[in-house]
Amino acid sequence: MTRLAIITGQGQLPSAMAQAWTAAQDVAPVICAPEGLHPEGVTVDRAFRLERLSPFLRTLADDGITHVALAGAMHRPALDPAMFDPATVSFLPRVLPALQQGDDALLRALIGVIEDHDLSVVGVADVAPALLADEGALTDRAPKAAETADAARGLAILQALGAVDVGQGCVVASGLCLAVESLYGTDAMLEFTALNRPSRRPEKGGILVKRAKPGQDLRVDLPAIGPHTVAAAQRAGLTGIAIEAGAVVILSRAAVLAQADAAGIALWAMA
């Protein structure tokens, strides 16, 4: 029997995944979170300290948990050296170098630690596949030719950035890159675009492109959009949102599509 624990970060994704798993399996997952984190929409069953990650993972395995999902935004914490136990310390040579790299490198290291404790790591496609979109137009309005051209340009930009483990999103208008996503995320990128557009050309139009990094482990850190993304794209003067089919989470899908249709924003999933 598969027993699932969800290690949560911030945002709506942990709740959405927990609800989908409960509905499909008729049993709730065990919700786990770092101490001091209060994830949205779920009740934490087990809190843990990252400095004592190994004993925590052993407890999960000993209690019959077979699978672990990582869900939600997780910021890089300040760690207390005095709190580390010997078993967790033994993993530091693998994890500490990854802390100085991009999110994908860090999460790959974390997955390795989890799997070393006889736990299988699963992702959105395994736990809540309905959160991902199939290829094609999702809104009433399909993208125009100029928007699909901007999406192709965005794809090329993100493929180049992915080689150095940076960014899952960019903003492109008339073939020009207006902004790229950094560690601060999509909201910060769209806010930057909105603040700078009035004084620079092109002053309106363009699209947001969201994709997983090339070669990214799709079990963790999938890019996501939600109603706030559509609102931010509208404030930035964008007319389209292009996401990667099967690799971008759509939170509150009905609300997202209704909001995009009302704003005249084309939303589609591309290969």
| Shared domain check, 89 and 29 | yes
Instruction: With beta carbons less than 8 A apart as the criterion, state whether 127 and 4 touch.
Output: yes
Q: Which of 42-51, 52-61, 78-87, 224-233 has the lowest mean pLDDT?
A: 78-87
The least confident of 74-78, 118-122, 127-131 is 74-78
Q: What is the pTM of this model?
A: 0.87
Q: Is residue 254 located within the same domain as residue 183?
A: yes
Verify that 59 and 80 share a domain, yes or no.
Answer: yes
Domain span at 64: 4-127
pLDDT at 102: 61
Dihedral over alpha carbons 29, 18, 216, 102 (to 10 degrees): -90
Bridge partners of residue 240, in order along the sequence: 207, 266
Q: Are residues 84 and 151 in the same domain?
A: no
Same domain, yes or no, for 150 and 76? no
121 and 240 in a single domain? The answer is no
Lowest mean pLDDT among 82-96, 118-132, 232-246: 82-96
Task: Count structural domains, the chain.
Answer: 2
147-184 burial, b for 16+ CB within 10 Å, e for fewer? bbebbebbbebbeebbeebbbbbbbbbeeebbbbbeee
Helices 227-235 and 253-263: crossing angle, nearest 10°?
Answer: 20
Banded pLDDT at 166 (limits 50, 70, 90) = confident
CA angle, 53 as apex, 50 and 59 as ends, to 5°?
A: 135
159 and 263 together in one domain: yes
pLDDT tens digit sequence for 169-185? 999 999 999 999 998 89
106, 152: one domain: no
| pLDDT for position 48 | 94
User: Are residues 140 and 123 part of one domain?
Assistant: no
